[in-house]
């Protein structure tokens, strides 16, 4: 991902402009009920940080996950085995990059709800291709949030056991492939998986049923400081902050802002889907761990995974109440 920054310093190789906003009320206007009285429902902490960290360990044990690597293929098999029985859909596509063509694959686990509509929660699972000759394993950048989605799947699986449905919209968990640039970040060399699935769902009509898109990225950082993103839908960012406040985690959110993060939410934002990128772009002093071999598991914490996952879970509950 790339970002246009309003922080005092910005990480290397990061520049962007805000994404174009689709000409639709959905992109800019809060849903019915937004701004209503605060929820009287008690917010619940559900994420098991120790179990989530174990998933991180299992993912990074396969090594680097760049396109075409053995580790990439092994993590695909890992996700497949973990998600069997969860209405799993595999979306295979071709990454046509400046370095050649690679097979790509998105994974979607589907949990049905009682209401007509879908809430998407996403994370990318690949690692940086230009760093393929190093030991870069992306513990925070890809593995942590892929693990977090596996943890959320545990709770969604329990809630839908025995043919039951969620009390709200269906929730689809989306692991995107080829988020990282293969050569150098640009509109055409990045976000391959999310661009592909957004286009597929636009063409087959699925996208019009998506009520909200929550993207998780780099939020296992032990020094958790999630920034407000200028490319996300404003009311969705407000809702994320409300979720954090209800759980007592507001000090970890939105003390700083980025003018616009280029990330897997953009193909959905530009198609009018209300979206929020929940991301910590300050990973190490002056983002010094990002896209380096220092992005290792010792930089993560179980508590940060719990904070991030619980806020996402609470945001889903608020979307169900308000929309």
**Which CATH number fits the domain that encloses residue 232?**
3.40.630.10
Mapped onto helix, strand or coil, the DSSP state of residue 201 is: helix
Q: Is residue 36 part of a domain?
A: no
**How large is the average pLDDT for residues 237-255?**
98
4/304 Cα distance (integer angstroms): 24
The pLDDT of residue 7 is 40
Look at residue 15 and tell me whether its pLDDT is greater than 80. no
The pLDDT of residue 67 is 98
The pLDDT of residue 322 is 87
User: Among 173, 218, 220, 196, which residue's Cα sits nearest to residue 271?
Assistant: 196
Per-residue pLDDT band for 65 (boundaries 50, 70, 90) equals very high
Q: Is residue 132 part of a domain?
A: yes
Q: Is residue 258 part of a domain?
A: yes
User: Among 92, 261, 118, which residue's Cα sits nearest to residue 178?
Assistant: 92
Q: Is residue 112 part of a domain?
A: yes
Mapped onto helix, strand or coil, the DSSP state of residue 274 is: coil
Q: Is residue 35 part of a domain?
A: no
Mapped onto helix, strand or coil, the DSSP state of residue 205 is: coil
**How large is the average pLDDT for residues 279-306?**
97
Instruction: Dump pLDDT digits (tens) for 111-148.
Output: 999 999 999 999 999 999 999 999 999 999 999 999 99
Domain extent at residue 73: 2-30+41-322
**Pairing verdict, β 166-176 and 100-111:** antiparallel
222/47 Cα distance (integer angstroms): 16
39/53 Cα distance (integer angstroms): 31
Q: Which residues pair with 277 in a beta bridge?
A: 215
The pLDDT of residue 32 is 52
The number of domains in the chain is: 1
pTM confidence score? 0.92
The pLDDT of residue 259 is 86
Q: Is residue 214 part of a domain?
A: yes
Mean pLDDT lowest for which of 35-39, 199-203, 265-269? 35-39
For the chain, helix, strand, coil in percent to 5 are: 35, 25, 40
Instruction: Dump pLDDT digits (tens) for 154-205.
Output: 999 999 999 999 999 999 999 999 999 999 999 999 999 999 999 999 999 9
Give the whole-number percent of the chain exceeding pLDDT 90: 85
Q: Is the CB of residue 152 less than 8 Å from the CB of residue 219?
A: no
Neighbours of 17 (CB within 10 A): 11
The pLDDT of residue 5 is 47
Q: Is residue 7 part of a domain?
A: yes
Q: Is the CB of residue 170 less than 8 Å from the CB of residue 156?
A: no
Phi and psi, residue 240, nearest 5°: -60, -45
């Amino acid at each position: 991902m790339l970002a246009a920054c309003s922080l005092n310093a910005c990480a290397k190789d990061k520049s962007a402009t805000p994404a174009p906003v689709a000409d639709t009320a959905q992109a800019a206007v809060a849903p019915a009920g937004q701004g209503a009285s605060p929820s009287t429902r008690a917010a619940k902490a559900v994420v098991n940080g120790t179990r989530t960290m174990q998933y991180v360990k299992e993912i990074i044990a396969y090594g680097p996950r760049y396109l075409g690597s053995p580790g990439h293929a092994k993590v695909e098999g890992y996700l497949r085995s973990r998600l069997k029985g969860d209405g799993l859909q595999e979306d295979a596509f071709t990454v046509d990059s400046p370095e050649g063509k690679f097979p790509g694959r998105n994974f979607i686990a589907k949990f049905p709800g009682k209401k007509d509509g879908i809430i998407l929660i996403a994370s990318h699972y690949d690692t940086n291709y230009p760093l393929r000759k190093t030991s870069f394993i992306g513990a925070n950048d890809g593995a942590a949030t892929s693990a977090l989605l596996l943890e959320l799947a545990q709770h969604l699986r329990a809630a839908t056991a025995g043919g039951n449905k969620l009390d709200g919209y269906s929730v689809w968990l989306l692991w995107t492939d080829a988020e990282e640039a293969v050569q150098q970040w640009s509109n055409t060399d990045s976000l391959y998986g999310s661009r592909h699935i957004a286009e597929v769902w636009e063409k087959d009509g699925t996208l019009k049923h998506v009520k909200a898109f929550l993207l998780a990225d780099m939020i296992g950082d032990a020094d958790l400081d999630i920034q407000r993103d200028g490319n996300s839908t404003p009311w969705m960012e407000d809702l994320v902050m409300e979720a954090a406040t209800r759980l007592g985690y507001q000090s970890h959110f939105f003390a700083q802002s980025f003018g616009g993060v280029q990330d897997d939410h953009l193909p959905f934002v530009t198609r009018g889907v209300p979206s929020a990128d929940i991301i910590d772009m300050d990973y190490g002093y002056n983002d010094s761990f990002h896209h380096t071999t220092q992005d290792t598991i010792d930089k993560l914490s179980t508590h940060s995974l719990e904070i991030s996952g619980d806020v996402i879970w609470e945001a889903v509950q608020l979307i169900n109440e308000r929309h």
